[in-house]
Copies of this chain bind each other. A is one copy, B any other.
Amino acid sequence: MAKIKPGKNSSKKELITQKAANLFKKKGFSSASMRELAESVGVEASSLYNHIGSKSELLQEICFKVANIFTSYLDSIENTVINSSDKLEGIIRFHINMMLNNFDEVYVANHEWKHLQEPYLSNFLIQRRAYEKRLIILIENGIQANEFKTTNPYVAVLTILSAVRGLEFWQQHKKNISSYVLENDMVKHLLNGIIK
């Protein structure tokens, strides 16, 4: 009997998932076909089903992998004793670096989650809502501690998360700006504004 080869097996599935993230990003989930995905992997479409359950399953894995990474980081930073400003800055920098280093998967989680099937769709939205709620509390704490200006905490979270998401556009301009300048200038803008 041939041994189960978990190393090879899972790396092939990971390859498929990674290629799927890239394809879903380029064409969108609905426009991406399994035949195209298969071509980028280097096999026939039907062979993919030796490794995956379905097209939808690929989307689920991408979306929840990303969601869990962000949730885990927030867990860890909430357990530190630094002040709210430093927590917020850490979160912003984490989001920026996730956008820069895991672009395909983060992009798909941001843009294609609506094609998740139930119950995954509802679970994803619940998880995202919970994440936002924890950020709102962080902002509220910072306002009470007199670190942040008085502002609507939800609007602040929306502004920050959205600005960071916009880094997807920067991927085309990579050559002109270093990611170092980008990260620091965006953090400064979101924390201190642009007006002198």
Contact = CB atoms under 8 A, between A and B. Distances in A.
Contacts of A190: 159, 189, 193-194
Contact of A188 (B30, B151, B163, B188): B151
A114 to B, nearest CB: 7
A194 B195 contact: no
A178 to B, nearest CB: 10
A51 interface: no
A177 B196 CA distance: 29
Interface of A: 27-31, 85, 88, 111, 114-115, 139, 142, 146-149, 151-152, 154-156, 158-167, 169-170, 173, 176-177, 181-182, 185-186, 188-196
A193 B191 contact: yes
Contacts of A27: 114
Q: Which 4 A-B pairs have the closest CB atoms?
A: A162-B166, A193-B193, A30-B30, A192-B193
A158 B185 CA distance: 11
Contact of A185 (B147, B156, B196): B156
Given A158-B163, A159-B189, A165-B166, 9 more contacts: A28-B28, A28-B114, A85-B195, A149-B188, A149-B195, A155-B182, A158-B167, A160-B163, A191-B193
16 contacts: A28-B114, A31-B115, A88-B194, A139-B194, A149-B192, A151-B185, A151-B189, A152-B182, A155-B177, A162-B162, A162-B166, A162-B167, A165-B166, A190-B194, A192-B192, A192-B193
B114 A155 contact: no
Nearest to A158: B166
A193 B185 CA distance: 12
A164 B161 CA distance: 11
A146 B196 contact: yes
Contacts of A159: 163, 166, 186, 189-190
A30 B33 CA distance: 12
